[in-house]
Structures are given as C-alpha cells and as structure tokens.
Amino acid sequence: MAGLENLKNRFIMAPIKTGYSDGTGIVTDKHLAFYGERAASLGALTPEPLYMDRGLREIPTQIGIDSDDKIEGLKKLTDLLHSTDTKAIAHLNHPGRMANPKIPGNYFISSTDRACENGGATPKRMTEEDMTSVVEMFVSSAKRAEAAGFDFVELQFGHGYLLAQFLSPAVNDRGDKYGGSFENRVRFPLRVFDAVKEAIALPIIVRISGEEMTPDGIRLGETIRLVKLLEERGVSALHVVAGSACSTPPWFFQHMFVQKGKTWEFAREIKSNVSIPVIFVGRINTFDDIDRLFEEYGADYLAVGRALVADPSFVSTYIGGAKGRVKPCLSCSEGCLGGVKSGEGLHCVVNPTVGENELMGKDLFKGVEKPKRIAVVGGGLAGMEVALDLKRKGHSVTLYERDKLGGQFNLAPLPPNKESLSKLIDFYSWSLRDSGIKIINREAREEDLVDGSYNTVILATGSKPVIPPIEGLKNYFWAEILEDQNIVSNKKVLVIGGGLIGVEVANKLLKRNNKVIIVEMLDEIARGMEMIEKALTLKNLKENDVEIYTGWLVSKVERGKVYIKNKEGKEKFFEDVDHIVVATGMRSYNPLEEKIKGKVEYYVIGDAKKVGKAQNAIKDAFDLAIRL
C-alpha cells in the first residue's frame, strides 16, 4: 500500500471549502479550474470536505460523495490531478451537531444533546443504531472515493466535528460506554477508523486537533494517547490541526488574530511520539515558514491552504528558488471565509481571479498588439494593481503618487493583530520597483495628463473621510490616530462612528490605556467587519468596558463636553473628553475627472469610483487592466 512517501514532493493542499458546486453536490467546471490551476506543483491535493449525506452539509454548495452519481465528477477531478502526477486525497467529515442549521433538510446528531455554545441546532444524542448508520456512511463514502480514483482517504477526527465530539471531554457528557473515560471516548472514533480500513485498500490519513484550545477540551496528552492507538491500527499519516469549529473558530480558521505556529508545536510533539509521517499545517504562508518547518521543526509534509488561494504559484515559486515573488496570504479570512459564508463562493482579497471561472487558469496577460502610454494617478491598492497588470500586458505605464505607496491601506496593519496586512504593501512596492514602472512622486496636474504624453489616464485617487457638520467640532483625529506619532495614552477619547474604522481605532486606543466611548447613529456597530475579527474585537471592547451608544448622534462639542442625542430626542453629554476621533465613513475623491474629461481617454477605479473594501479596489483595477 503506497503511502505519502511516494509523493513527488512534500507539499499537500489542505481542504478548503470553495462553495463552487451548483447545489447538486457534483464537481463543476469551476472546481476543475480552481484545483487545476494549483495541482501541478503539489505532491497531493485535498479537495474541499466531501459531504457524506445531503442532510449533513456545511454549505449548500459543497461537493458530495453521498451517492454513486457523484463518482463521475469526482473521477474527472482525480484524473485532472493525476495528469500532473499529483495524488488525490478524499477528506471525509461528519459534522455532527455542526451541520449548517440554515440549510433546509439538515439533521443534527452528536455524542451529546447540547448545542454548540456559540450557536447552532440542538442535536439528538446518538444511539447505537445511529452509530451503526454513521459507520456505514463512512464506509460507503470511502468506497466511492476509491472508485473515483482517490489515492488516500482522510478522516476528520478534529476541529470539533462529530468524531471530535466523542473525543472531547468538553462535549461528550455520556454516561455509557462511549463517554467518561478516555478509553470510552475514543471507542466510537476508533470503530469508524477500523471499519473504513477494513473496507478499502487505500491508505488512511487522520486529521486531528492537537488541542481544542479550551481548558476543558481535547488536550495534547490525550491526543498523543489516541495517535498511538491509531498507529497500532495502521493509520498511514497524521494531519495535526488545532481548535474547534464550535468553541474556538479563530483557531479552526487559523485567523490572523491567533498565534501563528501553535499547530506546528503540537505536530512536532506528536511526531516525536510516533514513527509514521506527520503533516504540519496552519498559516504556512511565507517561504520563511516553510524553511522553519523543514529545518527547525523537522516536518515530514506541509499542508498549505490559503497561501495557494492567494497565489497558485506559492509552492512552485518556493521550489524554484525565486523567493519573495508571490502575492501574500494576509490570513484575514475576508475573501475566502467571507466569500463562502456569503454564498458567493471562495474568493480572495489579493487574488481577483479566484472564484471567477472565466479567469482561473487562463493566460490573461498576453502581450497587446498596440501598447499604450498610460498614466495611473494614485498609488493605493487600485492604482498599484492596475499599473502592474497593464505593465504585464506590455503597456508603458507611469504611476503618479504624491505621498507614500499604499495610500490609506498603510493604516490597515496598525490596529491590534493586523500586522500581517503590511505584507500586501510590501509585495506591491517590491513588484513596482522590479517592474521598471516609472513612479513620479508628486501630485498629477491636469497639464501632465492632457499634453499628449499619454493615450489613456486611469484615476485611482481614492477616498477621503466624511466629516459631519457638528456644531463646535474643530479639533479631531481620523484614522491617522493609529500611527505611532499620533496615538494617545491615558486619555478620554470619544469616537464618532462605530463602523469598521471606528471600532478598529477604539480597539487600538484600549491598548494604550485610554477610556473609550463610541457613538454610532445606526443600531449596530462594526458593520461590514469580517465575522471572526468582529466577534473578537467586540468581545475585547466589552471586556474593557467601552461605552457604546448605538442609535445616537453627536450634536455639539463645547469646551471639553460632547453632547449626543437619540432618535427620540433624548440628550446627554460627556465631560472632560480629551480627544475626538471622527470615523463616519468615506467619500470618493476624484478631483481630476472634470478637468480632463473630453481631452483624453480616461477611466476611474477603486474608491475614486465607489468606496469599498480592499478586495473591491483590487478586483476593479484588475478587471479594467484585463479589458484594456
């Protein structure tokens, strides 16, 4: 039985939900385009988790392996992978109580009859009959994986899903032979493993949480005891993760708000206790990470996920030795998790082709027959993206930026735990220097753009803060208070506006021992913030006693007092306010359009056209570059 040692290299793509199915559970052309673009450089690739019963889906547009009619599509996928000598791993997962309660027809079973404490349906406590049914489900799904040409089956024992719900003392509250002691809690998961191993000839990988990152959940000591039992039973390899989809989602998603490398530590400790291969995973998104894992941690294999979403060439570039030339994964979960949760499917902030079937895997930068001389005005994300893309197509590009490359995105890495966002500015800055694009470090004037030097002008001048007409409001900060030279300490600060910027500013101010008040005219704060970041940020605000007033607006500022009123006309005021931060939204800034209209061909992109997020700006720029 061939194992991981027969892979062409030590890189595996981790299972990431795509949401690219059409609701039937059958593999689509979009799946083939997405995985095909990434397969060639990998030793093995694990498609997204495959649902084993239509009533157990995590997202409505998940790939299924619940019936024989799925085999043909799955075979197309494995054939595609095999055409590049890349092995295929079928990831089988029963979500138990973590099945999506919003999907009609889903059902919920578990070791317990308690719902996940962070939300979800109340499950049925499983009977012996239920357990037999689940074992049969795993077995039939594994047989279909074998028939579809998969080379490995991976069983999900971790991340708070059904088998982990038996393993975890925090969840399993049974009083029978499947609960209580370690020996009882591992009984059912091992029964599943044994049945699958007996039913198929394929090697089996087990994915397991080193720890669930909760005091009373699965801990490393018990995980080591379990993997030794699995080794005795003939498991081919172990894939070590951390966290639980229920109780610790930031660890489950390896979000930028949690410590990088914790899963690596768990994997190293487990590796020292077994003699079978161990797969390391968890925010492996830089070449330094890869070097450390192989050299310092002694990793056998690496599972890479979102770094391959951000740049399909991440592994091939590393192997080729051209270091530093890939679009960085920011660990933000904005486009990937956010796209799947929204129903739009997997996307990516930094890679605008992801999720676009007509773009994925295509040669979009063929040289143009008639290169143009193009001026790009503004060196923010949209301006830098369009300049680089147009240069790749063969155009002559000049970029005007009066200040610092990156524009307002230079403020994005400054709130707590968001340092990883700086990698995007570093990437663009490096790429621009390497491209030979001419950069003019001053404001573009009308005469620069219409004197015949350029065939086309692209206006990417961004946006500016909206400052509400508040009586007495004269001295205030905007988001520039995040910068080291502006940040204040031990002060009373009132933040006007509880949107994304206002909440991030408040969170940063707390780190400097400030007393913070947020006043938001709408009924909700942190609108538009990515779900995990929002949950953790609001938790921090609450724990630090931030006063939050929703449905109120600031009416007047007068000698250290700030007056507010609500929709009912009720008024109150705050005394001794040292500083005010205004974060009440942004408006497009486009001072040149009227001046150049009719004198030269031009386009407006990014926030200058419509205020949005980083992902919108980059996608807008990319789309224009492809059209030109």
Q: Of 186, 204, 59, 80, whose CA–CA distance to 143 is shortest?
A: 204
∠57-63-69 over CA atoms, to 5°? 110
259: CB partners within 8 A, 6+ apart: none
Q: Of 280, 279, 208, 200, whose CA–CA distance to 1 is shortest?
A: 200
- Angular region, 452: left φ>0, alpha ψ -120 to 50, beta rest: left
Q: What is the pLDDT of residue 323?
A: 62
Q: Is 301 designated active site?
A: no
Structural domains of the chain, with CATH:
4-342 (3.20.20.70), 373-464+588-627 (3.40.50.720), 479-584 (3.50.50.60)
Q: What is the pLDDT of residue 559?
A: 87
Q: What is the pLDDT of residue 369?
A: 86
Q: Of 465, 401, 402, whose CA–CA distance to 437 is shortest?
A: 401
Helices within 531-602 (DSSP H only): 531-543, 593-596
The four Cα atoms 485, 488, 489, 492 give a dihedral, to 10 degrees, of 180
Sheet holding 561-566, edge to edge: 552-558, 561-566, 571-574
| Token couple for 324 | 């530093």
Q: What is the pLDDT of residue 536?
A: 93
Q: What is the pLDDT of residue 89?
A: 98
Reported in sequence order, the residue ranges of 73-225 that DSSP labels E, i.e. its strands, are: 87-92, 109-110, 124-125, 152-156, 204-209
Q: What is the pLDDT of residue 1?
A: 55
Q: What is the pLDDT of residue 324?
A: 60
Pairing of strands 278-281, 492-496: unpaired
For residue 34, the surrounding DSSP H or E stretch is helix 29-39
Q: Give per-10-residue mean pLDDT for the chain (628 aa).
A: 88 97 95 95 98 97 97 98 98 97 96 93 98 98 98 98 98 97 98 98 98 95 98 98 94 91 97 98 96 97 97 94 81 88 90 83 80 97 97 96 96 94 95 95 96 96 96 96 96 97 96 97 92 93 96 94 94 96 96 96 98 96 94
Three-state DSSP at 573 gives: strand
Bridge partners of 493, per DSSP, are: 516, 579
Answer whether 355's CB lies under 8 Å from 347's CB: yes
Distances in whole angstroms, Cα of residue 188 to Cα of each of 159, 167, 178, 399, 617: 17, 9, 7, 62, 49
Q: What is the pLDDT of residue 338?
A: 84
Task: Exactly one of 51, 161, 178, 454 is catalytic; name it.
Answer: 161
pTM over 0.75: yes
Q: How far apart are CA 350 and CA 328, in angstroms?
A: 7
